[in-house]
A and B are shown apart, each in its own frame.
Chain A
Amino acid sequence: MTGRGPGAGGPGRGDTSGARGPGSPGPRSRRDGQGGPPGQRRPGDVPPAAPRDPRNSTGPNSRLPPDRSTGPIPRLPPDRSTGPIPRLPPDRSTGPIPRLPRNAAVPPGGNGTRPPRPDGAQPASGARRPPGRRPAGRGRPRRPSRWLTIHRGDPGRRVGLTVLVIAIVLTLFAGRLVQLQGMESGYYKQAANTEKLKTIALPALRGTIYGSDGEILAITMETYTVWSDPQNIPAGQLPTVAAKTASVLGLTTAAVLNLLEHPSSAEYVVLAKNVLAKKEDTLATLNLDGIYATGAYARVYPNGTATADVVGLTNTKSNGMISGYSGLEEEYDSLLTGTVGSEEVEQSASGETIPLAGTQETLAKNGESIKLTINPTLQYQAEQACQQEVQKTRAQNCSVVVMEPNTGAILAMAQYPVSNGLSDIAVQNQFTPGSTAKVITASAALEKGGKTLSNAYSIPYAIFKGGQWIHDAEWSPGEKYTIAGIIANSSNIGMSQVVESVPEQTQYDYLKNFGLDEPDGLNLPAETQGTLPQLRDWAADERYTLSYGQGVAVNAVQMASVYSTIANGGVKVQPTLIAGTYSASGKYTGAKASSSKRVIDASTASELTSVLQQVPAVDAAANEDWGEIKGYAIAAKTGTASEPSPDPAHPCPAKNPLCVYGASYIGFNTNAGQRVVVAVNVQNPDTKTDYFGDEVAGPVFYSVMSAALLDQQIQPQQGLVAPYVRLNAS
């Protein structure tokens, strides 16, 4: 760098200046004002130029450095202070060259004459100053001003400052980036997600309800609503389309045509709801214009009306969810429903799901399925038998409960009229049991009253007990019956005397222990547990009426349970409808065994059974042989209860406040092996025909018991003889 100043700069300058000659004063005057005459300057400049030049020493070839090296530092401040512009005009006037001030092409020393400076102070400076001192003397005091200003001639500073500014701006950007992406990322992520993420509910399929042998009683299926836009049916084809649609849907052509001609709105009319897939399929193949079908999940009950009242009904909510409304569908709703899942998908602005984008999925858990103890075939036969009897006797209703005494499993719980799931008579209706409750009084007397089956009582025409006359349903003048005879012949007068062998508390306890006025254990919706007056509320004649089953109300399952207890050797097993459950994956879990408790001794149960075995023959003697099934031993009891009118509009006459009858027939087979209890109650039969238990409920018992024995594969036995029990005391 040292070499630059004198060696390179000097000659270069000298050359150019020489070439230009004195005629080019402009630029030179600025730059080389320091130099004075070229010739003079050259030797003199060498020493001072050397230390100053290093900055601009870009090399000998560059013409710029020489110019700059010639002393921009000392000279510029004065130029500035005076302003370069004022100076330029004079330069220009001297020729085009003044434009090139930056270009070192301008000969340095060519101009001996300097343009006049406005301030007039400067021109002399070059001359006055000794060349050697100039840099030191002038540079020092002006240095501060150099630092404060940016100068075209100082690219280092300029670049430095630019970089600094850029760095500051970039730092701000980076800071903002960190703020957005780091510190506030959660918020923005969420905001973005709410815009693009969509949660789809994954429906859980409602579980199926099966019969005891896997028959489908209730299942969720896709059914269709068939609807029409009559405007889309070509004119003139209306009758044809109506006829075709009607034949598939099982409707009349006239009805469909009427709907098509008088639609509920111009473009929409529903032709049929809950159309099964098969019909919809047939309809779809016809490809009729203007006829459409929309599918939705619905509950289907392929078994029809017979099991409807036990299984119950469902509701379909507006969101398509199916929920239990009555019966088992309601009781086991949460089990059947399962858990709804959800899926989060990313969607585009137009709402389409983006494939392969990350999705978050909570799988739906399908509902569990339930297997019932109900045997649909038996249920159907029971319903049929009930229907026949109700139609024959014009009764209000009929209910049948078939139960396995050792497990509590209810094999059938049928009724007529059917309500399609709206009411379950067997658990929701209560009735007066009548004579079928006599076994309870007898149990108390045998166990706590010191009585035996052969204790004798005389039966007058009527007996005055508790301030009231008690009669028998059928007149039996002046008999002497044993307790067995009192039960078998169903004497109210006799039972009123038997009950006096135990205190009221004991009588009450036995009624409660047998499950009267206690929950029956099925826990179905809207169940009744019957009514039994509290002991302290008993009127003077209460115990007598209660002894033969009046003044108390029960449901059909409770009554079946009483006889199950006797059939099961005195142990009461809680009734149940659930055989087991299938998990969503199909794994079967058997239901827990029903709870059980001993109500009476096994010996008492056995004694009562032997008495009940006499009843079919007693009935047969009265030409009502409904308890005789060839090849089977049957123990049974009839009941004929008197009740007040269920219809407030047609009350019973004041003279006879209990003018309505309830006929019952409850029994079980006593063969070796499996036993089944069948409890029949026919409520309010037409008294002009029949109303006694054996006459009205007997036929139902016979057919249902026959069906139950067949369905449960209970083998007949040969040469069965009933045990001898003395009924009459002489």
Chain B
Amino acid sequence: MLLLCGLLGGALVSALVISTTLAEGSFQITKLQDSTSALAKQQQVLEEEVAQQESPQGIEQQAAKLGMRRVGELRFIDLTTGKTSNDGTPWIGAANAPGYAP
């Protein structure tokens, strides 16, 4: 009889412990899931922002705000000499060559 009571009591206590542990775990899972989704959303918000600022339209708008404008003549600066690589010489075509008649 005592043994039976002991077994029953033991089983009851362990069932209680297990269910408490499980409930605790599920609370933690819910909490972590919440924070995961919040962080995922935040990441998405930031990604959106980056993608929009990165887009050519976004860059053009920001550049225009800073008073920049599109390049007319293409120039590259040679960092070793500090000179620009385009001397602005126009392309000399056959129009200037002998025998050319438009």
Contact = CB atoms under 8 A, between A and B. Distances in A.
A721 B92 contact: yes
A376 interface: yes
B45 A277 contact: yes
Contact of B92 (A216, A627, A722, A730): A722
B76 A716 contact: yes
B85 A715 contact: yes
Nearest to A618: B102
A632 B91 contact: yes
Interface residues of A, number: 57
Interface string B81-102: 0000111111111111111111
A614 B93 contact: yes
B93 A222 contact: no
Contacts of B71: 706, 710
Interface string A296-307: 000010111010
A380 B55 CA distance: 9
Given A617-B93, A629-B74, A728 B48 contact: no
A537 B75 CA distance: 53
B62 interface: no
B94 A722 contact: yes
Given A709-B74, A710-B71, A716-B85, A630 B102 contact: no
Contact of A219 (B51, B60, B98): B51
B48 A727 contact: no
Nearest to B98: A724
B55 A302 contact: yes
B43 to A, nearest CB: 9
Given A302-B48, A616-B93, A634-B91, A377 B41 contact: no
A631 interface: yes
A621 interface: yes
Contacts of B25: 355
B8 interface: no
A159 interface: no
A613 B94 CA distance: 8
Interface string B7-46: 0000000000000001001100000000000000100110
Nearest to A710: B74
A725 B51 CA distance: 49
Given A278-B45, A629-B74, A728 B100 contact: yes
B80 interface: no
A300 B48 contact: yes
Contacts of A710: 71, 74
Nearest to A381: B56
A276 B46 CA distance: 11
Given A219-B47, A302-B55, A617 B85 contact: no
A628 interface: yes
B47 to A, nearest CB: 7
A628 B94 CA distance: 12
B99 A621 contact: no
Contacts of B101: 479, 727-728
A720 B89 CA distance: 8
A719 B100 CA distance: 20
Interface residues of B, number: 40
Nearest to A485: B101
A634 B91 CA distance: 8
Nearest to A276: B48
A630 B55 CA distance: 29
Contacts of B55: 215, 302-304, 376, 380
Contacts of B89: 630-631, 718-720
A221 interface: yes
A74 to B, nearest CB: 49
Interface in A529-568: none
Interface string A479-501: 10000000011000000000000
A716 to B, nearest CB: 4
Contacts of B99: 724, 726-728, 730
Contacts of B85: 631, 715-716, 718
Given A303-B55, A620-B95, A715-B85, A277 B41 contact: yes
B30 to A, nearest CB: 12
Contact of A221 (B48, B60, B76, B102): B48
Nearest to B41: A277
A221 B47 contact: yes
Interface string A13-40: 0000000000000000000000000000
A356 interface: yes
A390 B100 CA distance: 34
Contact of B44 (A221, A306, A633, A634): A221
Given A221-B47, A355-B22, A710-B71, A617 B94 contact: yes
Contacts of B45: 276-278, 281
Contacts of B98: 724
A56 to B, nearest CB: 37
Nearest to B91: A628
A723 B85 CA distance: 22
Contacts of B26: 355
Interface in A682-730: 706, 709-710, 713, 715-716, 718-722, 724-728, 730
Given A306-B57, A629-B91, A724-B99, 5 more contacts: A216-B54, A219-B51, A377-B56, A380-B56, A727-B94
Which 5 residue pairs spanning A and B have beta carbons closest together?
A617-B93, A302-B51, A380-B56, A617-B95, A631-B86
7 contacts: A303-B56, A380-B60, A617-B95, A720-B91, A721-B92, A722-B94, A724-B97
